[in-house]
Amino acid sequence: MNNVGTLHLKDKNYLPEQAGSCELLIKHNKHKLSYAIRNIQSNELYVIYDASISGSMEEAFTGLTAQNEYLNQSFGQVKVSSETFNFVFIPTELYAESSSSSFKNFVQSTKPTRTCTNAMLDGKVQAVSAVEDSVVAPLKKKFSNAVVYSQAEAFIESALKGSANESGLRAFIQFNSGSFEMVIVSDGEFVFYNIFSFENADDFNYYLLLIKQQFELQPATPVLLAGEIEKYSELYKRIARYFQNIRFCDSTSIVKHPDSFKLLPSHQFFSLLSMSLCE
């Protein structure tokens, strides 16, 4: 049973004692908190949760662990994605551990943060990001083994996986609460990623046209959508003004969904479940 504005699905076959063989995926931005639990060996989805939050991450997660006892288990793996606009991608051959402190200058923030460095694209690139300590600290306190990412790594990895055998340009757009991300892939190779704040469809339209012009995206360029967007929304209509080949991302291609989740929109949690692809 869900509270108003909250989605919480738990497969009947999931037992708390299975946590050791499972992965807990947590995604956070200033408006939303989502998490999922999947079996690492079978790649089956057991739990999905999504809700708006108004307070701190510590308050939100403390309440969740009190309500849902299964979150108090020791999971085999824990991955956390926290939204940030402070990140940089550095080719691995240019990244040296001895000089890693210098890269922190590229991701400085006015708020207390911690710098995270994660390999992506089969180790070819190091993603350096600064995530808010107020988000990460309570989760690391609860799950000391948690690996922390920005929002970028998971979405880029899934875009590359979905384009492995595709030629030409492809655009992926992930809609969050108050922001959207965009990935451009060309002939299966990573070309571009960025995240933008927006308040309405006109804001989004402005950024979309800038990127369309910069990368010479054509009406026939495939555009794949994920996150908080529906086919009859104003955001979708803006995309349809410029592109003819629009599809929704399918999270079942990443993690197996149980029959009890068959009504779950397959694109809505694409980025969250893509965290399973991160190293």
pTM of this prediction? 0.93
Q: What count of other Cβ atoms lies within 10 Å of the Cβ of residue 138?
A: 17
Q: Dihedrals φ, ψ of 61, to 5°?
A: -75, -30
pLDDT tens string 141-178? 999 999 999 999 999 999 999 998 899 999 999 999 99
In a domain, 139, yes or no: no
Spatial contact of 152 and 84, defined as CB atoms under 8 Å apart: no
Residue 87 pLDDT exceeds 80:
yes
Number of structural domains (the chain) is 1
Indicate the average pLDDT of the chain. Answer: 92
Query: At residue 2, does pLDDT exceed 60?
Result: no
Sheet (strand 32-39) strand order: 6-10, 45-52, 32-39, 22-28, 77-82, 147-149
In the chain, what percentage of residues exceed pLDDT 70?
94
Judge whether 108 lies within some domain.
no
Closest CA to 181 of 169, 171, 193, 198: 193
| Residue 163, domain member (yes or no) | yes
pLDDT band of residue 36 (cuts 50, 70, 90) is very high
Is residue 224 in a domain? yes
Query: Angle CA(168)–CA(169)–CA(171) in degrees, nearest 5?
Result: 150
List the one residue out of 84, 90, 39, 34 whose CA is nearest residue 64: 34
Q: Would 79 be classed as within a structural domain?
A: no
> For residue 3, what pLDDT band results from cuts at 50, 70 and 90?
very low
Specify the length of the chain in residues.
Answer: 279
pLDDT band at 207 (very low <50, low <70, confident <90, very high): very high
Tens-digit pLDDT profile for residues 119-149: 999 999 999 998 999 889 999 999 999 999 9
Give me the CATH number covering residue 203: 3.30.420.260
Residue 101 has pLDDT above 80, yes or no: no
Copy the structure tokens of residue 125. 């690139």
For residue 95, name the pLDDT band (cuts at 50, 70, 90).
confident
pLDDT band at 98 (very low <50, low <70, confident <90, very high): low
70-97 b/e (C-beta count within 10 Å ≥ 16 → b) = bbeeebebbbbbbbbebbebbeeeebee
Q: Which of 72-81, 84-93, 115-124 has the highest mean pLDDT?
A: 72-81
C-alpha 163/C-alpha 141 separation (Å) is: 37
Answer whether residue 166 is part of any domain.
yes
Residue 225 forms part of a structural domain: yes
Q: Which domain holds residue 159?
A: 155-251
pLDDT tens-digit profile of 235-260?
999 999 999 999 999 999 999 999 99
Instruction: Let me know if residue 19 belongs to a domain.
Output: no
pLDDT tens string 65-75: 999 999 999 99
CB 9 within 8 A of CB 50: no
Q: Where are the extended beta strands (E) located within the chain?
A: 6-10, 22-28, 32-39, 45-52, 77-82, 87-91, 113-120, 125-132, 147-149, 169-176, 179-186, 189-197, 223-227, 246-248
